[in-house]
């Protein structure tokens, strides 16, 4: 059973601050890690992917991965009200097409 754990929140962060979202996973065979964003009433969309230990930056977003600790995080710098959404973590094994197992998501609220 693949398990993906996220703090459901809500996580409330002031505008302009750094939002830190965390995710742990149980499947040690996971090689790829993805972050999806889902606005209320909308479908999820992919915003970040990371495959190697360390940090990966894309604009205001930074994904961090530590495979030894089975931990992946997403940092959002200079948080904006438009970042208010639910963020879903999804690890995956290589080579399969059997779908992604998602965490339950963290509800992030950016306070103006």
Binding site for other proteins (CB under 8 A): 8, 31-34, 36, 42-46, 49, 88, 90, 92-105
Closest to other proteins by CB, 15 or 104:
104
Which whole-number Å values give the CA distances from 19 to 40, 43, 80, 81, 105, in the listed order?
18, 22, 10, 12, 14
CA 89/CA 33 separation, integer angstroms: 7
Residue 61: strand pairing partners: 58, 76
Shortest separation between residue 68's beta carbon and other proteins, angstroms: 21
**Chain centroid to CA 96:** 21
CA 12/CA 25 separation, integer angstroms: 24
Closest to other proteins by CB, 17 or 46:
46
Shortest separation between residue 101's beta carbon and other proteins, angstroms: 7
CB 85 within 8 A of CB 19: no
Closest to other proteins by CB, 43 or 112:
43
Closest to other proteins by CB, 60 or 93:
93
Shortest separation between residue 36's beta carbon and other proteins, angstroms: 8
Shortest separation between residue 16's beta carbon and other proteins, angstroms: 29
């Amino acid at each position: 059973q693949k398990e993906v754990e996220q703090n459901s929140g809500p996580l409330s962060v002031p505008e302009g601050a750094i939002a830190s979202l965390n995710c742990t996973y149980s499947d040690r065979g996971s090689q790829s890690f993805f972050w999806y964003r889902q606005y209320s009433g909308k479908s999820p969309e992919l915003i970040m992917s990371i495959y190697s230990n360390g940090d990966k930056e894309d604009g205001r977003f930074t994904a961090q991965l530590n495979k030894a600790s089975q931990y992946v995080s997403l940092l959002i710098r200079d948080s904006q009200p438009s970042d208010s959404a639910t963020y879903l973590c999804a690890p995956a094994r290589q080579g399969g097409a059997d779908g992604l197992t998602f965490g339950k998501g963290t509800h992030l609220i950016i306070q103006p």
